[in-house]
Amino acid sequence: MAKLWGGRFKNETDYDAFNFNASLSFDKRLIKEDIEGSIAHSRMLMKCGIIPEEDALSIIEGLQGILIDVENGDLKISPEYEDVHSFVESVLTDRIGEAGKRLHTGRSRNDQVALDMKLYIRNKILSVDSKIFLLEKALFEIIRDNTETFMPGFTHLQKAQPVSLSHHMGAYFEMFIRDRRRLKDIYEGADECPLGSGALAGTTYPLDREFTAKELGFSGGPTRNSMDSVSDRDYLIEFLSALSIIMMHLSRFSEEIIIWNSNEYGFVEIDDRFSTGSSIMPQKKNPDIAELVRGKTGRVYGALMSLLTTMKGLPLAYDKDMQEDKEMAFDAIDTVSDCLKLFTGMVSSMSFNKDIMENSAKRGFTNATDAADYLVKKGMPFRDAHSVIGALVLKCISENRALDDLSPEEWKEGSELFDEDIYDAVSLKTCVENRVTFGAPGSESMKKNIEFYEKYLNEGTLGGEV
């Protein structure tokens, strides 16, 4: 049981208590951030003359060597250490001797882990942002190429009005724009460095916290209150909240793909690479990836609720409860990352049965509102027009026909105002094209949106990728 403390204790820690208290099994994934923070701290200690330059340089070289060896697999993180901090410091001291014991000068594990988590989460925000960006690029291709692919739009899962596939996919594109905007806000909100806050009340050493913050890429400088610095997990709660919303969007999208993939709809065909079969039913091709994305949403929600519950009753400043901020957060981040990657592959490879989609819009009377609007433009009050078209829809339902199938005589039975131009008025192309308000599925509106989406994608990711 390798620990960084124990001088005031008479007895050894109970073995089970040590394991219960230890966090190395999960916080070992913070080793890169831990070493990065320790190198910056050592440079600051050297700059301020707090430790000898020779020792600081030896520490920095030793830390760099540890990270290289861990990443290469030449150094295993063994379980006898309490946490990643004790592992790094113990290995460092074994390698460079007494100088390694100076590393922790002016620092506590409280501000150390606060820094590690903030660095880690900032990196993961960039990673998730990049994955959403790739999904947006896949969606953009569908949007750009399907402005005249007509389909029913739904309310209450009932066919409502005709839209284009381009417009429907655009709705999800907008959701992911908002997701990335939230990530940007969280990244910028986590732009202050907690290192140098000590256990809770700073330190008597003349630390240069501005220097450390700059070394670590925090443009917002050091945090302003040392007690808040070591007990703040708002940025992590915000990130888990953003991840939960991302999963909610993916889950809604998955639900539609699952429905569209069913035999009853047949709107889409999911590629074999993202489908599975049945062990007993030879004919089955199941949308398991979409179903798993939908199912894993609850897992990410659980991480958010867990951390909110953990933090709700904690007094200032640091409490060991806060160690519970990691395992489920790590799991949530991994889950969202995997879901985004697989979902993007599924969406970019699935095919659309355009004829089935268009026919579904016709048979679903999605052009009924446009037929009523036709009568309104001829002078009939809308409420009367609504009633006339409702009666014609009822007739078509009883005869298993679409409005487009009615003869000129049958239209006139509804109202003498109908003329031959009614067929053009209720064609899906006309119905969609006539929706000219900004944000509607008409071609002019969609052209503006496509230009906006293209410009937006050209701006790249938070990390600068395009």
| 349 in Cβ contact with 273 (< 8 Å) | yes
pLDDT band at 17 (very low <50, low <70, confident <90, very high): confident
Cβ-in-10-Å burial (0-12, 13-18, 19+) of 394 comes to exposed
Phi, psi of 373 (to 5 degrees): -65, -35
Beta bridge partners of 452: none
Q: Which two tokens stand for residue 376?
A: 């309104």
Question: What is the model's pTM?
Answer: 0.94
At residue 72, the pLDDT reads 97
Q: How far is CA 283 from the centre of its chain?
A: 34
251 CB-side CA count, 13 A: 16
Specify the 3-state DSSP secondary structure of 286.
strand
The token duo for 73 is 């697999």
Spatial separation of the C-alpha atoms in residues 242 and 248, rounded to whole Å: 10
d(Cα 55, Cα 118) in Å, to the nearest integer? 27
CA distance 196 to 40: 11
Alpha helix ranges (H) inside 165-287: 165-189, 209-215, 226-231, 234-261
Alpha-carbon gap, residue 263 to 283, rounded angstroms: 12
Query: Do the beta carbons of residue 76 and residue 86 sit within 8 Å?
Result: no
- Rounded to 5 degrees, φ, ψ at 151 are -155, 165
- Could you read off the pLDDT of 369-406 as tens digits, one per residue? 999 999 999 999 999 999 999 999 999 999 999 999 99
Looking at the chain, how many residues does it have?
Answer: 466
For residue 158, pLDDT over 70 is answered with yes
Task: Please count the helices (runs of H) and the strands (runs of E) in the chain.
Answer: 19, 4
Residue 2 has pLDDT above 70, yes or no: no
Q: Are 218 and 204 in contact (CB under 8 A)?
A: no
CB 172 within 8 A of CB 249: yes
With a cut of 90, say whether residue 15 has pLDDT above it: no
pLDDT at residue 285, rounded to an integer: 94
Distance of CA 202 to the CA centre of its chain: 35
Q: How many angstroms separate the CA atoms of 376 and 434, rounded?
A: 15
* Contact present, 443 and 453 (Cβ < 8 Å): no
E strand or H helix that includes residue 163? strand 158-164
Using CB atoms within 10 Å of the CB of residue 362, give its burial: 0 to 12 exposed, 13 to 18 middle, 19+ buried: buried
Active site amino acids: 156, 278
% of residues, the chain, pLDDT over 90: 94
User: CA–CA separation, 457 vs 466, rounded Å?
Assistant: 7
Instruction: Evaluate whether 182 touches 249 at the Cβ level (below 8 Å).
Output: no
Say if residue 201 is preceded by a cis peptide, omega within 30 of 0. no
Asked whether residue 16 carries a pLDDT value surpassing 90, the answer given is no
Q: How confident is the model at residue 136 (pLDDT cuts 50, 70, 90)?
A: very high
Four-point Cα dihedral 264, 269, 274, 277, nearest 10:
50
Answer yes or no: is pLDDT of 328 > 70: yes
User: Looking at residue 255, what is its pLDDT?
Assistant: 98
Domain boundaries 359-458, corresponding CATH code: 1.10.40.30
In tens, the pLDDT along 106-121 reads: 999 999 999 999 999 9
Looking at residue 266, its pLDDT comes to: 97
Q: pLDDT tens digits for 180-228?
A: 999 999 999 999 999 999 999 999 999 999 999 999 999 999 999 999 9
Phi, psi of 154 (to 5 degrees): -120, 150
HSE (CB half, 13 Å, CA atoms) of 240? 24
CA 233 centroid distance within chain: 19
On the question of a common fold for 120-148+161-205+219-354 and 359-458, the answer reads no
Mean per-residue pLDDT over the chain, rounded: 96
pLDDT at 37 over 90: yes
Strand 351-352 to strand 268-269: parallel, antiparallel, or no bridges (unpaired)?
A: antiparallel
- Which superfamily is assigned to 120-148+161-205+219-354 in CATH? Fumarase/aspartase (Central domain) (1.20.200.10)
Q: How many CA atoms lie within 13 A of 161 on its CB side?
A: 17
> For position 257, what pLDDT does the model report?
98
Instruction: Look at residue 3 in the predicted model and tell me its pLDDT.
Output: 63
pLDDT over threshold 60, residue 318: yes
* pLDDT of 5 above 60: no
Q: Which residue pairs from 460-463 have beta carbons closer than 8 angstroms and sit at least 24 positions apart in sequence?
A: 460/133, 461/126, 461/129, 461/130, 461/133, 462/125, 462/126, 462/129, 462/130, 462/180, 462/183, 462/184, 462/187, 463/126, 463/129, 463/130
Domain boundaries, the chain: 15-105, 120-148+161-205+219-354, 359-458
Question: Residue 154: enclosing H or E segment and its boundaries?
Answer: strand 150-155
Q: Regarding the domain delimited by 15-105, which CATH topology (the fold level of the hierarchy) does it fall under?
A: Fumarase C; Chain B, domain 1 (1.10.275)
The helix-helix angle for 165-189 and 234-261 (nearest 10°) equals 170
